[in-house]
Structure 1
Amino acid sequence: MLDYSQLQNLPTAEDLPDSDDTPVDNELQELIPHLLRSILALIWSDRWDWYFGIDMGIYYDPNQSAIVPDGFLSLGVPRVKDENLRLSYVLWEEENVPILALEVISQTSNQEYTKKKEIYQTIGIQYYVIYNPQRKRKPRLEVYSLENQEYVLLGNQSPVWLEAIGLGIGLDRGTDQGVTREWLYWYDKNGERFLTPEERSRQAEFQKQQAEFQKQQVEFQKQQAEFQKQQAETKAERYARRLRELGIDPESL
């Protein structure tokens, strides 16, 4: 990583292009990062010291073009800088290197295993996550950790625990926006997957229906008890009337 204190007249985010105008070539390259960010917004709803960028340029060298991961996570930075939000992620302004970079591989590799990996390594990004949905025999998920300035495969068994983030990341089959397939999710220390906003909503609706059903069950049992009481009283009245017809005072029994 460059020592920006030695450089003069560094450009600001407003001076730099906020896009490389390169369209994504796989819809998953947008959907997967968006899902991860939406889950973070739920589980870290009370935290404002994190930022998850999607298809946003990271400027690491004023003399180089930005590098654009499919997604990246940075900790210790404001979640919202101002009402205009971020145009790009400029390291000499943020003064904080992202802790995770994510790349979703399309049908053809786009230097995710070579140039991009080397740049993320040079920048000092702790975790590099590569998801290759096209793979059939090799692991589709690879998670690298920066050890002694080099990336070491941390694991490819899902989920993989990311100690510096306090979350795990892994694969599971689920449904998001009506699409049922394998997705990337966040996990807790025990390997339990965090729910998506869609799943959380369905869970809340199910719990509401369960509560309503239990309420109806209690009401039904109450009505049934009242009916049985009335039945018992009616039976007792018939018995007493029959005794009187026989000349027996039921009170004397």
Structure 2
Amino acid sequence: MLEYNLPKYLPSAEELPDSDETPVDNELQELIPGLLKAILLILWAERMDWFFGIDMGIYYHPDQPPIVPDGFLSLGVERFYDEELRPSYVLWDEKIVPTLVLEVVSQTYRKEYTTKLNEYADLGILYYVIYSSRRRRKPRLEVHKLINSKYELQAGNPVWLPEIGLGIGCDRGNYSGVTREWLYWYDLSGKRYPTPQEQIKLVQKRAEVAEQRAQQMAQKLRSLGIDPDHFD
């Protein structure tokens, strides 16, 4: 997993700082990965082999500061360790490199298209996703896939990620009371998975339809001289 030698004695996640104390400078850096995680919590509710971190440090060497993407997804790891949850993501403990990392570009450019591109490639992270809502002439969403140790830009919106079993793309919608362009997960056919709020509305709508059908059936029974309240 790691291409260099690690020290013999390694600190645990509890012994390492759980933050680089660098505040996010854009609310979208929290909301966009937060929406992706919220959808996964519904979509993969029964799965316990994944973890989605938001603004969490990824430690790759005890003598180096962590890399802190806006969001990242790991597959094949324990979803929860215990009730204290993860303070950080430590590669020598997890044994698995994240499959996907996400950077949301803000007004303060943080070398998302240069230095971080190389850092994530060196770690062997399969997908590097960059989103910049301020772009006008270039795509706002870029999905890079690691092929032969180099990232290659993937075409399309959404982009299918076969190793994850999901697609990722951007579209206009409403989340947290804000109507704008957001990132979403998609199925193989390109259909967007609903947000938690949309899921609630779907359930409510289905319940209303079921209630209407039940009332229609009751009325039909009454027209036949059958009391549905005493139907045996």
TM-score (norm 1): 0.84
Structure 2 residue 30 is the aligned partner of structure 1 residue 30:
yes
2:32/2:183 contact within 8 Å kept: yes
Report the Cα offset of residue 218 of structure 1. 2.9
1:100/1:126 contact within 8 Å kept: yes
Quote the Cα distance in structure 1 between the aligned partners of 2:32 and 2:117. 20
1:4/1:92 contact within 8 Å kept: no
- Secondary structure at 1:84 match in 2: coil
Query: Which letter maps to 1:182?
Result: E
Query: Which letter maps to 1:154?
Result: Q
- Secondary structure at 1:213 match in 2: helix
Structure 2 residue 173 is the aligned partner of structure 1 residue 174:
yes
Report the Cα offset of residue 28 of structure 1. 0.8
Equivalent residue number for residue 165 of structure 1: 164
Equivalent residue number for residue 134 of structure 1: 134
1:35-74 equivalences in 2 (<5 Å): 35-74=35-74
Quote the Cα distance in structure 1 between the aligned partners of 2:27 and 2:224. 59
Equivalent residue number for residue 12 of structure 1: 12
Q: Which runs of 4+ in 1 moved over 6 A?
A: none
Structure 2 residue 119 is the aligned partner of structure 1 residue 151:
no
Quote the Cα distance in structure 1 between the aligned partners of 2:175 and 2:219. 38
Quote the Cα distance in structure 2 between the aligned partners of 1:107 and 1:202. 35
Quote the Cα distance in structure 2 between the aligned partners of 1:123 and 1:211. 51
Quote the Cα distance in structure 1 between the aligned partners of 2:4 and 2:105. 32
Quote the Cα distance in structure 2 between the aligned partners of 1:223 and 1:107. 66
Percent identity reads 58
1:209-248 equivalences in 2 (<5 Å): 209-223=208-222
Query: Which letter maps to 1:108?
Result: T
Report the Cα offset of residue 7 of structure 1. 2.2
- Secondary structure at 2:15 match in 1: coil
TM-score (norm 2): 0.91
Quote the Cα distance in structure 2 between the aligned partners of 1:59 and 1:6. 12
Q: Which has the higher helix share?
A: 1
Query: Which letter maps to 1:170?
Result: G
Equivalent residue number for residue 102 of structure 1: 102
Quote the Cα distance in structure 1 between the aligned partners of 2:179 and 2:219. 39
Report the Cα offset of residue 224 of structure 1. 5.1
1:2/1:61 contact within 8 Å kept: no
Equivalent residue number for residue 82 of structure 1: 82
1:36/1:186 contact within 8 Å kept: yes
Structure 2 residue 190 is the aligned partner of structure 1 residue 191:
yes
- Secondary structure at 1:183 match in 2: strand
Report the Cα offset of residue 16 of structure 1. 1.2
2:25/2:108 contact within 8 Å kept: no
Quote the Cα distance in structure 2 between the aligned partners of 1:85 and 1:216. 47
Report the Cα offset of residue 109 of structure 1. 1.6
Structure 2 vs 1, CA of residues 6 and 33 (structure 1 numbering), >3 Å: closer, same or farther? closer
Q: Which stretches in structure 2 are left out of the alignment for 5+ residues?
A: 226-232
Quote the Cα distance in structure 1 between the aligned partners of 2:209 and 2:106. 43
Quote the Cα distance in structure 2 between the aligned partners of 1:174 and 1:224. 45
Quote the Cα distance in structure 1 between the aligned partners of 2:162 and 2:223. 56
- Secondary structure at 1:14 match in 2: helix
Query: Which letter maps to 2:182?
Result: W
Q: Which stretches in structure 1 are left out of the alignment for 5+ residues?
A: 227-253
Quote the Cα distance in structure 2 between the aligned partners of 1:124 and 1:71. 16
RMSD, matched Cα? 1.6
Structure showing greater relative contact order (alpha-carbon pairs closer than 8 Å, 6 or more residues apart): 2
Query: Which letter maps to 1:70?
Result: D
Equivalent residue number for residue 208 of structure 1: 207
Quote the Cα distance in structure 1 between the aligned partners of 2:39 and 2:50. 13
Report the Cα offset of residue 6 of structure 1. 4.8
